[in-house]
Amino acid sequence: MYVNGDFNMALTLSVVMALTRNGNRDSAKALNRALGRRLAHFRKQRGYSQQELARRVGAVQVVISDYERGKLRLSAEMALRFATALDIPIQELLQTNKLVPVDAAPKPSRRLLRRLERIEHLPRRKQEALLTTIDAFLGNATGKAAS
C-alpha cells in the first residue's frame, strides 16, 4: 500500500514538473506563485518563520522568500524537503488547483472585550499588576495542563 503512495507522489511530481518545463512562461510563473502561496500558507499554519523553515530544509531565509513569492521554480527535491519539514503529504503541497483556506481569526467574546476596555482605563500601575497576575495564572494553568 505504501508503494502506491510512492507512485502517486512520483506521478504528482512528474505532472507538476512537466507543466513548468513544457508549459508557456506565463503558466509556469502562475504555477510557481500558486505553489509559493501554498508553501507560505502551510509554513504560517505550522507557526514557522521563514528562518525556521529554512533551517529545517537546509536553506537560507532568502531562498524561502523567493519560493513563496514564486520567483524560484520548486524542484522535486525541494518539494520533498518542504513536505517533510512541514509534516504534510507532498500531494497537499502540490495541489495548486485547490484553494488555500483562509482561516478567520477567532473573535474574542463581548464579555472579554468589555473587561479589556475597563482594564485600559485603569492607571498604568494597576494595569501592570493585573497583567502580572493574569500571566501568573495562565502560566500555572498551562503548567498543570501539560503535566
Q: What is the pLDDT of residue 105?
A: 56
**Which stretches does DSSP call E strand in 1-147?**
none
CB 29 within 8 A of CB 21: no
Which CATH number does the domain 2-94 belong to among 3.10.20.30, 1.10.260.40, 1.10.10.410, 3.40.50.2300?
1.10.260.40
Helices 50-57 and 61-68, packing angle to 10 deg: 110
Q: What is d(CA 88, CA 41) in angstroms, rounded to the nearest whole number?
A: 12
Most confidently predicted of 18-32, 41-55, 96-110, 127-141: 41-55
In degrees, rounded to 5, the angle at the alpha carbon of residue 13 between the alpha carbons of residues 70 and 57 is: 60
As to burial, measured by CB atoms within 10 angstroms (0-12 exposed, 13-18 middle, 19+ buried), residue 17 is middle
Q: What is the pLDDT of residues 7-43, one digit of tens each?
A: 455 555 555 555 445 455 667 788 888 889 999 999 9
- Chain centre distance of CA 100: 11
pLDDT over 90 at 106, yes or no: no
